[in-house]
Amino acid sequence: SRIYVITGAGSGIGAAAARLLREAGATVVGVDLRGTEVTADLSTPEGRRQGVADAVEAAGGTVDAVIASAGVSAVSPLTVSVNYYGVTEFLEGIRPTLARSAAPRVAVVSSMSSLQPNYPPLVQAMLEGDEATARAMAEQLAADPRAGGLIYASSKRAISRWVRAQSVTAEWAGAGIALNAVAPGIVKTPMTEELRATPESVAFLDAVVPMPLNYHQPPESIANLCIWLTSVENSHCAGQTIYCDGGSDVVMRGEDA
């Protein structure tokens, strides 16, 4: 059976993916701040290194697939560190182990926010790799009440671009590793609980994330897509961000985007 490592497996989409995979007979090593096989804080370089080492050890030295779901939506530099570097450095660290699998696959949980207004210099800073510079920029945005939302959107824009750029390189496609992302709309998890709680905040959500197909989605809708993208059957999807968002992308960008 296949061996999966799932970051953010303690809650929401990651927890749903872990449960569905275990039900289907796979081995799952969860990585999260608490409540999983491996405890690791992916907001720091040391936590990422230790998380990779402990996950590979818990997996018995073989990893066939990674689902990277850990993420936060805080208006702070933490969002840059977890949503971007917590994904890229974790994946770079585990890549040599993945490359030894017969059918290695990765699915990253991005967001339809990757299409929302962002702060291009912050996106660039993340893609150029310097975490300290990117965090300092996010710190400044966080201080401006009108600009705080740009941090999350920038982190998701950057991770989708990273996935796209890396997917076709010698390290990923060259090693047979399918690397893709998924972009949910509003998922019914603890992350959005407060936003879904009052009529005022729901009206705001409906304006920025319209979802004509079946409205707000269960975590399983994303988990099942990640499971397919990381299955043996996915031999040829590379570098895509797949919008599974009730139609938000189409409503916002139009039919010929």
Q: Which residues are catalytic?
A: 152
* Rounded CA separation 112/242 (Å): 9
Where helices occur in 63-148 by DSSP H, the ranges are 77-80, 86-98, 120-127, 131-142
Does residue number 149 form part of the binding site for ligand NAI (CB under 6 A)? no
Stretch that binds ligand NAI, among 39-47, 90-98, 122-130, 232-240 (CB under 6 A): 39-47
Site stretch for ligand NAI (CB under 6 A), options 80-88, 89-97, 140-148, 224-232: 80-88
Shortest CA distance to 114 belongs to which of 253, 254, 218? 253
From the list 30, 71, 93, 239, which residue makes contact with ligand NAI (rule: CB under 6 A)? 71
H-run or E-run covering 27: strand 27-32
20, 33, 173, 237: residue in contact with ligand NAI (rule CB under 6 A): 33
Query: Which of 110, 240, 242, 92 has the alpha carbon at shortest distance from 175?
Result: 92
Measured from the CB atom, the residue of 67 and 101 that comes closer to ligand NAI is 67
The residue within the footprint of ligand NAI, chosen from 118, 167, 192, 230 (CB under 6 A), is: 192
> To the nearest whole angstrom, how small is the minimum distance from the Cβ of residue 239 to ligand NAI?
18
Q: Does residue 184 touch ligand NAI according to CB under 6 A?
A: yes
Measured CA to CA, the distance from residue 12 to residue 73 in angstroms comes to 13
User: Which tokens in the block code for residue 99?
Assistant: 């490359």
Name the residue among 98, 93, 95, 126 with its Cα closest to residue 110: 126
Q: Report the interface residues with ligand NAI, using CB under 6 A.
A: 8, 10-14, 32-33, 40-43, 69-72, 82-83, 86, 109, 111, 184, 186-187, 189-192
